[in-house]
Amino acid sequence: MRIDRTLFHDTVLAVVVAAASVTLFLLYGPESLETPELVPEGMRAPDALGAALLVLAAAPVAVRRRWPLAALCAGLVPETLLTAFGYGSGVSGVSGLVLLYSVASNRGLAVALGGLIVSLLTYLVGALAGPVTLPGPSGHVVAVVVLSAVWGAGRSLRLRRAYLEELRDRAARLERAHAADTRAARAEERSRIARELHDVVAHHVSVMTVQAAAARRVLASDPDLAREALSAIENTGRLAMTEMRNIVGVLRTDARAELGPQPGVGDLPGLVEQMREAGLPTRLRVEGEPRPLPAGIDLAAYRLVQEGLTNSLRHAGAGAEAVVTVCHAPTGLDVRVEDDGKGATPAPDRTGHGLVGIRERVALYGGILNIGPRPGGGFEVRAKFPLKDGQ
CATH of the domain at 342: 3.30.565.10
**What does pTM read for this prediction?**
0.46
Taking the C-alpha atoms of residue 91 and residue 128, their distance in angstroms, rounded to an integer, is: 17
Answer for the pair 33, 23: CB distance below 8 angstroms, yes or no. Answer: no
Position 234 in a domain: no
Pick 261 or 377 by higher pLDDT: 377
Considering only CA atoms, which of 36, 257, 264 is closest in space to residue 135?
Answer: 36
Pick 189 or 311 by higher pLDDT: 311
Position 384 in a domain: yes
> Nearest 5 degrees, angle CA 75-CA 80-CA 86?
135
For range 87-111, the mean pLDDT? 78
Instruction: Provide the angle, in degrees to the nearest 10, between the axes of the packed helices 138-218 and 93-106.
Output: 30
Say what the pLDDT of residue 35 is: 53
- Mean pLDDT, the chain, rounded, equals 78
For range 203-213, the mean pLDDT? 76
Residue range 28-53, pLDDT digits in tens: 665 555 554 554 555 677 778 878 88
Considering only CA atoms, which of 44, 59, 37, 48 is closest in space to residue 89?
Answer: 44
Mean pLDDT lowest among 11-25, 278-292, 319-333: 11-25
Residue range 166-202, pLDDT digits in tens: 999 999 898 888 888 878 777 776 776 666 666 666 6
Written as one letter, the residue type at 259 is: L
Position 143 in a domain: no
Pick 187 or 330 by higher pLDDT: 330
Say what the pLDDT of residue 322 is: 92
For range 206-230, the mean pLDDT? 78
Mean pLDDT lowest among 29-33, 56-60, 294-298, 332-336: 29-33
C-alpha distances in Å from residue 323, one per residue of 295, 334, 369: 24, 14, 17
The 3-class SS string of 34-81 reads CCCCCEECCCCCCCHHHHHHHHHHHHHHHHCCCCHHHHHHHHHHHHHH
Say what the pLDDT of residue 258 is: 47
Position 241 in a domain: no
For range 276-300, the mean pLDDT? 87
Say what the pLDDT of residue 250 is: 52
Taking the C-alpha atoms of residue 305 and residue 383, their distance in angstroms, rounded to an integer, is: 10
Q: 3-state SS of the chain: helix, strand, coil percent to 5?
A: 65, 10, 25
The yes-or-no verdict on residue 274 having pLDDT over 80 is: yes
Q: Among 102, 135, 168, give the residue marking a domain's end.
A: 135
The yes-or-no verdict on residue 137 having pLDDT over 70 is: no
Q: How confident is the model at residue 131 (pLDDT cuts 50, 70, 90)?
A: low
For range 116-128, the mean pLDDT? 79
Answer for the pair 358, 381: CB distance below 8 angstroms, yes or no. Answer: yes
Say what the pLDDT of residue 70 is: 87
For range 109-127, the mean pLDDT? 82
* DSSP 8-state secondary structure symbol assigned to residue 255: S
Taking the C-alpha atoms of residue 308 and residue 331, their distance in angstroms, rounded to an integer, is: 24
Residues 6+ apart with CB under 8 A from 168: none
Position 184 in a domain: no
Mean pLDDT lowest among 22-26, 37-41, 214-218, 292-296: 37-41
What is the share, in percent, of the chain residues with pLDDT greater than 90?
9
Say what the pLDDT of residue 337 is: 93
Q: Among 135, 159, 175, give the residue marking a domain's end.
A: 135
The yes-or-no verdict on residue 286 having pLDDT over 90 is: yes
What's the domain range around 297?
A: 280-391
Say what the pLDDT of residue 28 is: 65
Taking the C-alpha atoms of residue 133 and residue 135, their distance in angstroms, rounded to an integer, is: 7
Say what the pLDDT of residue 389 is: 59
Say what the pLDDT of residue 99 is: 87
Position 88 in a domain: yes
Say what the pLDDT of residue 331 is: 87
Position 81 in a domain: yes
The yes-or-no verdict on residue 346 having pLDDT over 50 is: no
Mean pLDDT lowest among 211-215, 254-258, 282-286, 289-293: 254-258
Say what the pLDDT of residue 257 is: 44
Say what the pLDDT of residue 134 is: 53
For range 93-112, the mean pLDDT? 85
Position 292 in a domain: yes
Say what the pLDDT of residue 221 is: 81
Say what the pLDDT of residue 133 is: 56
Q: What's the number of domains the chain is made of?
A: 2
Q: Among 108, 135, 162, give the residue marking a domain's end.
A: 135
